[in-house]
Amino acid sequence: MAIQSSIRANLYKDSVSLMRISQVTIARTGVQRVTLLMGTRSNKEFLQQAGLMSPALESAKPGDIMIVVADDAPDKIAAAEREIHSQIAGEEPKGGSTEAAAEAPPRSIAGGVAIADHADLALISVPGPYAAAEALKALRRGLNVLLFSDSVPIEQEVAIKRVAAQKGLLVMGPDCGTAIINGVPLGFANVVRRGAIGLVGASGTGLQEVMCQIHRHGHGISQAIGTGSHDVSSEVGGITMLQGLELLAADAQTKVVAIVSKPPAPDVQQRVIERARAIGKPVVICFLGGEPAASAGNVHRTSSLEETARQAVALAGARQPGSDEQSAEALATKVCGSLTPSQRYLRGLYSGGTFCSEAQTIWRAAGIRARSNAPLAGAERLADVEESRGHMAIDLGSDEFTVGRPHPMIDYGVRIERLLKEAGDPTVACIVLDVVLGYGSHPNPAEILAPAIRRAKAAARAQGRELAVICFVCGTDADPQPYETQKGMLADAGAEIVGSSTSAARASQAIASRMAADDSANGRRAMQGGER
């Protein structure tokens, strides 16, 4: 395959815009591969690893677009390059006229604040190496910050949070995927009704799942404060989580507080629990993957996202919704009858890191040892993320999959590729997929995922076996991508749809446990047969 590389100098585009241009170019020209990346060092390393780096790209700067087009046919490559340049030109801001200049967007946060003089929050999603600098500029202008960017060094996070604390400002993030402030969804956020339950969490998808379940139980969210995944480390000290608790304590709308996080560092955990005890409102705490802990006083401890939502709803005054433990077993009974004895393993292909952790927690409690690129404490780390062996839970939103690419909640390409790969493995019993709806996510995930599920199941069937695919949809009926429609499309493709991330983990666990039990029973029968 021929590869053509070039640079479009001095033009910045975010990764989502570049992905859109790539996809349109492939659709319009039929070219095999288009890769568009800004000329950062990490993106060059990515191209190197992918075998796509060339001398022509070495001089690219972070403010230049690197263009890589690959195909067997030179005329397709030429057509694709014309299409890319045409689209880039079409997206560039028009300059020249006085009218255009007057409408030109500001080039800096200072310029933005000059236009929006009542602004109180900066939503920052620039590449990680530049993110802390932009956050500092926003704090200097008196803005609270939601820092969506990830890959921000922890010493920079500590520095900006200390500046914020001195100024009495809030920094949600870095790596804060979601927040709801006074009913306004920020970042990746679902559309949920307003209500009495306030959330604070170091886990973006964990917050999204809990808020969606609360909505689906008929209750609502007052605020959701994202802290970013590193906030509860010893270095950062839970600065944002503690501020978030203060906010929710003072917020008249919030009657019940729920905290969702990976287990904080021990000193931070102690401070968070002490603060929770003192806020004068019921608090549900889910430190997912941590040691089970007893509830005491106003602090209620839970160990799954589903239980967290149910407990918060119950404390808000509603009858506690029922559990679907039975349906996990029922689903396993339905699925296992059509599997072959060689199919024993689970493959969780997650776009949400919290879902990946929750599955590992539930699987581990049942004796299922899964490897992961984001392992629980004490679990085995995958040496090579491309490897497929045994039980695996993969977080496709982690750095090794997202450098130079949009998040898998936006771009399903990598996940679909992996789904089809796992479907070809005769030892795989069940694949688990999360589908996250809401603002920021793919506008119609089921439209592209459903055909891929059909292909995966057909590929397994062509090799003489059935493949179970369990999906859960993190969303609501008010999201831009309607929840029921998305579920229906995935079910029509043959996926087993369950109501929550917790249910998906339990159902898949039930399948793996059943297959392992059948296997050992067959082994016993074979041995007994041999003895006769």
Q: How far apart are CA 221 and CA 186, in angstroms?
A: 14
Examine residue 118 and tell whether it contacts other proteins (CB under 8 A): yes
Nearest distance in Å: CB 135, other proteins? 8
Examine residue 123 and tell whether it contacts other proteins (CB under 8 A): yes
Residue closer to other proteins by CB (options 61, 525) is 61
Choose the stretch contacting other proteins; rule: CB under 8 A; options: 107-115, 308-316, 318-326, 454-462.
107-115
Secondary structure element (H or E) that encloses residue 284, with its range: strand 283-287
Examine residue 243 and tell whether it contacts other proteins (CB under 8 A): yes
Examine residue 250 and tell whether it contacts other proteins (CB under 8 A): yes
Stretch 503-532 residues interacting with other proteins (CB under 8 A): none
* Distant-in-sequence, close-in-space partners of 148: CB < 8 Å, separation ≥ 6: 123, 124, 125, 173, 174, 175, 176, 177, 187
Q: How far apart are CA 248 and CA 281, in angstroms?
A: 9
Q: Judged by CB under 8 A, which of 90, 95, 105, 529 binds other proteins? A: 105
b/e 161-193 (16+ beta carbons within 10 angstroms → b):
beebeeeebbbbbbbbbbbbbeeebbbbbbbbe
- Terminal-residue alpha carbon distance, the chain: 61
Sheet-wide strand order for 184-187 = 184-187, 178-181, 221-226, 194-201, 256-261, 283-287, 299-302
Q: Judged by CB under 8 A, which of 54, 125, 298, 327 binds other proteins? A: 125
Retrieve residue 273's tokens.
Answer: 């629990």
Nearest distance in Å: CB 355, other proteins? 22
Stretch 148-207 residues interacting with other proteins (CB under 8 A): 148-149, 156, 167-170, 181-182, 184-187
Rounded-to-10 torsion of CA 328, 330, 335, 336:
100
Examine residue 129 and tell whether it contacts other proteins (CB under 8 A): yes
- In degrees and rounded to multiples of 5, residue 434 shows phi and psi of -100, 145
Retrieve residue 178's tokens.
Answer: 């979601």
Residue closer to other proteins by CB (options 226, 348) is 226
Nearest distance in Å: CB 274, other proteins? 19
Binding mask 429-468 for other proteins (x = CB under 8 A): ----------xx----------------------------
- DSSP for 465-514, please give it: ---EEEEEEE--TTSSS-HHHHHHHHHHTTPEEESSHHHHHHHHHHHHHH
Choose the stretch contacting other proteins; rule: CB under 8 A; options: 119-127, 271-279, 331-339, 523-531.
119-127
Helix residue ranges, H only, 337-444:
353-365, 399-402, 413-423
Task: Match 């993190």 to its residue by tokens.
Answer: 474
Binding mask 297-336 for other proteins (x = CB under 8 A): ----------------------------------------
Q: Are 143 and 119 in contact (CB under 8 A)?
A: yes
Let me know how long the chain is.
Answer: 532
Binding mask 5-24 for other proteins (x = CB under 8 A): -------x-x-xx-------
Q: How many CB atoms lie within 10 A of CB 389?
A: 11
Task: Count residues near other proteins (CB under 8 A).
Answer: 65
Q: Judged by CB under 8 A, which of 29, 43, 223, 229 binds other proteins? A: 223
Examine residue 144 and tell whether it contacts other proteins (CB under 8 A): yes
Residue 70, SS3 per DSSP: strand
Q: Hey, what amino acid is at 140?
A: R
Binding mask 23-62 for other proteins (x = CB under 8 A): ----------------xx--------------------xx
Q: Judged by CB under 8 A, which of 78, 121, 420, 491 binds other proteins? A: 121
Nearest distance in Å: CB 211, other proteins? 15
Examine residue 94 and tell whether it contacts other proteins (CB under 8 A): no
Q: How far apart are CA 495 and CA 488, in angstroms?
A: 10
Stretch 60-89 residues interacting with other proteins (CB under 8 A): 61-63
Q: How far apart are CA 293 and CA 300, in angstroms?
A: 9
Nearest distance in Å: CB 37, other proteins? 13
Residue closer to other proteins by CB (options 220, 424) is 220
Choose the stretch contacting other proteins; rule: CB under 8 A; options: 133-141, 266-274, 385-393, 499-507.
133-141
Q: Are 512 and 368 in contact (CB under 8 A)?
A: yes
Nearest distance in Å: CB 490, other proteins? 24
Examine residue 111 and tell whether it contacts other proteins (CB under 8 A): yes
Binding site for other proteins (CB under 8 A): 12, 14, 16-17, 39-40, 61-63, 93, 104-109, 111-113, 115-116, 118-127, 129-130, 132-134, 136-138, 140, 142-144, 148-149, 156, 167-170, 181-182, 184-187, 223, 243, 246-247, 250-251, 439-440, 480
